[in-house]
């Protein structure tokens, strides 16, 4: 029999080893992301020097700027400088706004986070029950309706749904506010604390601005929620069908356990581990894939910022936004892995 102290030391050693592996994998993934963005910045048919000085600058100014940007150095040295700058928070200056890219990202990204967060909440709280119900009534008309909704979520373009939503719920029925994050009259009236406008309005205790911001938020967030709902419902249904076919579920039914307990305890409980990964990846996709929705609704988020930077060949802003989005993917993916290990001891 092993001593309690030895067992504790063994667990501590395993925990330290696991955290070490987690840190190394995360670091290597981040370095891979930086390598990809660095490569993109070098292969795109845009001269970063010309983007700074213009195409009418003299050769002397061109060469001086090229040297100042470090583009005269060997590629390995350029990459090392690039990594150093990123790790110190220097992503360059945006040619579009004239501000440091870090400041722009801190300004625009919270708007995307706010919309994507509401969207994923809609997707989870509607998609998971819909998937469970569809699996529990497989082959029924209810199952068919939910599956059709899921297919629409994959097939209908986001920009088209956004335009229809504006035409129906804003211009036609007047149930929600129009494009933008808030009415111009209220812009800047709430102190920025979190960057999430609805949260900042609640912190300030201004329910008028909160209601106005929520009225602008609900339609684009619902469209994002519909897309995540379709994916989450489809995956939940698939996981549930697999569990409902297991022998332990059949045994529970034979023993007379109520169908509600069979579905939500015996079948649903094991799939929560898989749903963690599905929901995490869905959230990451909403954070980086809301470009078309942001454009349609004139939403001042990272997608709109990135699109504007691309159209104006603002590579510092493009690469900065790409690094941010990639980092979000890495963080959410690694957190999903951690939660997977928490919920499923077998994966440790």
Per-residue pLDDT tens digits for 67-94? 766 666 777 787 887 788 788 888 888 8
What mean pLDDT do residues 196-223 have? 89
> Is the pLDDT confidence value at 211 over 80?
yes
> What's the confidence (pLDDT) of residue 151?
81
Alpha carbon distance 274, 178 (integer Å): 37
Name the nearest CA neighbour of 326 among 295, 285, 292, 290. 285
Alpha carbon distance 29, 37 (integer Å): 13
What mean pLDDT do residues 277-284 have? 86
SS3 at position 93: strand
What mean pLDDT do residues 330-345 have? 71
pLDDT tier, 25 (very low <50, low <70, confident <90, very high otherwise): confident
What mean pLDDT do residues 273-278 have? 84
> Is the pLDDT confidence value at 54 over 70?
no
Q: What percentage of the chain carries pLDDT values higher than 70?
A: 85
pLDDT tier, 48 (very low <50, low <70, confident <90, very high otherwise): low
What is the H or E stretch that residue 199 is in?
A: helix 197-204
pLDDT tier, 114 (very low <50, low <70, confident <90, very high otherwise): very high
> What's the confidence (pLDDT) of residue 1?
47
pLDDT tier, 220 (very low <50, low <70, confident <90, very high otherwise): very high
Who contacts 281 (Cβ-Cβ below 8 Å, separation ≥6)? 332, 333, 336
How does 38-54 read in b/e, with b if 16+ C-beta sit within 10 Å?
beebeeeeeebbeebbe
Identify the residue with better confidence: 43 or 284. Answer: 284
> What's the confidence (pLDDT) of residue 303?
84
Instruction: Provide the mean pLDDT of the chain.
Output: 80
> Is the pLDDT confidence value at 217 over 60?
yes
Who contacts 288 (Cβ-Cβ below 8 Å, separation ≥6)? 302, 303, 325, 328, 329
SS3 at position 132: helix
């Amino acid at each position: 029999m092993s001593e309690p102290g030895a067992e504790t030391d063994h667990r501590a050693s395993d925990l330290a080893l696991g955290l070490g592996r987690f840190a190394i994998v995360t670091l290597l993934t981040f370095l891979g992301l930086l390598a990809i963005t660095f490569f993109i910045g070098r292969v795109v048919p845009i001269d970063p020097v010309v983007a700074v000085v213009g195409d009418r600058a003299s050769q002397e100014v061109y060469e001086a700027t090229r040297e100042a940007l470090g583009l005269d150095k060997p590629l390995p040295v350029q990459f090392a400088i690039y990594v150093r700058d990123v790790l110190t928070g220097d992503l360059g200056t945006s040619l579009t706004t004239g501000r440091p890219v870090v400041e722009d990202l801190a300004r625009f990204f919270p708007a995307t986070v706010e919309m994507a967060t509401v969207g994923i909440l809609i997707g989870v709280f509607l998609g998971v029950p819909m998937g469970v119900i569809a699996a529990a009534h497989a082959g029924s008309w209810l199952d068919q309706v939910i599956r059709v909704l899921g297919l629409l979520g994959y097939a209908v373009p986001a920009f088209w749904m956004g335009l229809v939503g504006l035409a129906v719920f804003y211009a036609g029925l007047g149930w929600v506010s129009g494009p933008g994050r808030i009415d111009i009259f209220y812009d800047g009236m709430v102190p920025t604390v979190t960057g999430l406008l609805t949260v900042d309005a609640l912190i300030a205790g201004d329910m008028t601005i909160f209601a106005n911001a929520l009225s602008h938020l609900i339609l684009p967030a619902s469209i994002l929620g519909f897309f995540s709902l379709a994916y989450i419902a489809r995956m939940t249904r698939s996981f549930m069908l697999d569990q409902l076919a297991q022998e332990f579920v059949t045994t529970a039914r034979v023993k007379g356990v109520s169908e509600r307990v069979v579905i939500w305890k015996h079948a649903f409980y094991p799939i929560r581990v898989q749903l963690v990964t599905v929901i995490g990846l869905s959230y990451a996709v909403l954070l980086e894939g809301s470009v078309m929705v942001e454009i349609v609704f004139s939403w001042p988020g990272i997608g709109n910022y990135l699109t504007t930077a691309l159209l104006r060949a603002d590579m510092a802003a493009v690469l900065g936004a790409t690094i941010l989005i990639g980092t979000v993917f890495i963080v959410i993916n690694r957190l999903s892995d951690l939660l997977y290990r928490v919920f499923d001891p077998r994966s440790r």
